[in-house]
Amino acid sequence: MLSKPRDVLLFILASPSGAGKTTLTRLLLERHPELQFSVSHTTRSARLGEVDGTDYHFVSRAHFERLVQENAFLEWARVHDSFYGTALSEIGRAERTPGCMALIFDIDVQGARQIRAKRPDIVAAFILPPSMTELERRLRGRGTETEESVLGRFGAARREIEHYALFDYLVVNDNLERAFHELESVVVAERARRTRRAVLAEALLQNGPRSGPEEQ
Ligand code: ADP
Ligand code: 5GP
């Protein structure tokens, strides 16, 4: 029988704030129970409806700095005046979760660059808004930011899009269902990559019948 390879696909999902990354990540996780979300640490306060330990680990600045000193982070960065980081332990947690096939990192461009340098096997997708006007509309429409924060995030968007070449895939979030299916196809295809499935082919060769004399 084919057994599950031990490695979990590491998948970065990044976007300028407001392009729809959180919405798309939620859909992926709802419809694909074999995917797990990497829960980051952050020093920003929780938004209405966000749950500590599920959306983020909400920590103080002192706590965050202690984790940096202890080298507990795979990557960390300052984003929109708060600190965000991915604990190294998130990968171990995914590898220990039965049935987990991929770990989704919702992180910014700085974090994507840092993880890529450490884990070249990582796959990275960047969500683009259909237009800058629509991006601004979505940022305001979400209703979670102050006017100052909307302007800050919108100003940062252009600088983030400049780094698009860091990513393997660019997904335009125009229509949500269409963008979702494109993203889903990428995750499914990446799971079937030869380098990730080679272990299965090798197992068949180890356990199957030996080749006959005519092939020797
Ligand atoms: P991000 O996580 O990238 O900051 P969100 O997922 O919070 O962005 O989306 C920003 C806002 O845009 C939310 O109000 C969300 O409901 C809305 N939104 C997301 N995708 C679409 C879409 N394809 N069409 C219209 N609105 C969208
Ligand atoms: P938000 O405050 O809207 O939840 O997130 C702001 C930005 O921080 C988003 O671009 C999000 O992807 C990014 N972010 C969230 N967690 C991490 C993380 O662990 N590391 C990095 N580098 N960025 C993160």
Domain of residue 179 covers 9-38+100-207
Tokens of 137: 């509309």
Q: What is the 3-state secondary structure (H, E, C) of 60-125?
A: CHHHHHHHHHCCCEEEEEEECCEEEEEECHHHHHHHHCCCCCEEEEECCHHHHHHHHHHCCCCEEE
Q: What is the pLDDT of residues 11-58, one digit of tens each?
A: 999 999 889 999 999 999 999 999 999 999 999 999 889 999 999 999
Q: Is residue 44 part of a domain?
A: no
Q: Is residue 2 part of a domain?
A: no
Using DSSP bridges, classify how beta strands 102-106 and 123-128 pair: parallel, antiparallel or unpaired.
unpaired
Q: Is residue 152 part of a domain?
A: yes
Percent of the chain with pLDDT over 90: 75
Residue the block writes with tokens 């929109």: 80
Q: What is the pLDDT of residues 58-109, one digit of tens each?
A: 999 999 999 999 999 999 999 988 999 999 999 999 999 999 999 999 999 9
Residue 138 Cα to ligand 2 middle (Å): 17
Closest-lying ligand 2 atom to the alpha carbon of residue 73: 19
Amino acid 214: pLDDT: 60
**Alpha carbon distance 202, 216 (integer Å):** 19
Q: What's 130's domain CATH number?
A: 3.40.50.300
Residue 179: closest CA among 47, 19, 46: 19
Q: Is residue 117 part of a domain?
A: yes
Smallest CA separation from ligand 1 atom 12, residue:
138
59-63, 99-103, 143-147, 208-212: least confidently modelled range = 208-212
Q: Is residue 189 part of a domain?
A: yes
Cβ contacts of 65-72, under 8 Å, gap ≥ 24: 67/41
* 1: confidence class by pLDDT, cuts 50, 70, 90: very low
Euclidean distance between the first and the last CA atom of the chain, given in angstroms as a whole number: 26
Q: Is residue 172 part of a domain?
A: yes
Q: Is residue 22 part of a domain?
A: yes
- Our mutation pick for probing the ligand 2 site, out of 13, 58, 107, 126, counting the most ligand atoms within 8 A of Cβ, is 107
- CB atoms inside a 10 Å sphere around CB 95: 13
Q: Is residue 113 part of a domain?
A: yes
Q: What is the CA radius of gyration of the chain?
A: 20
Instruction: Kindly state if the Cβ of 142 falls inside 6 Å of ligand 1.
Output: yes
How many domains would you assign to the chain? 1
For range 133-162, the mean pLDDT: 89
**Alpha carbon distance 126, 172 (integer Å):** 8
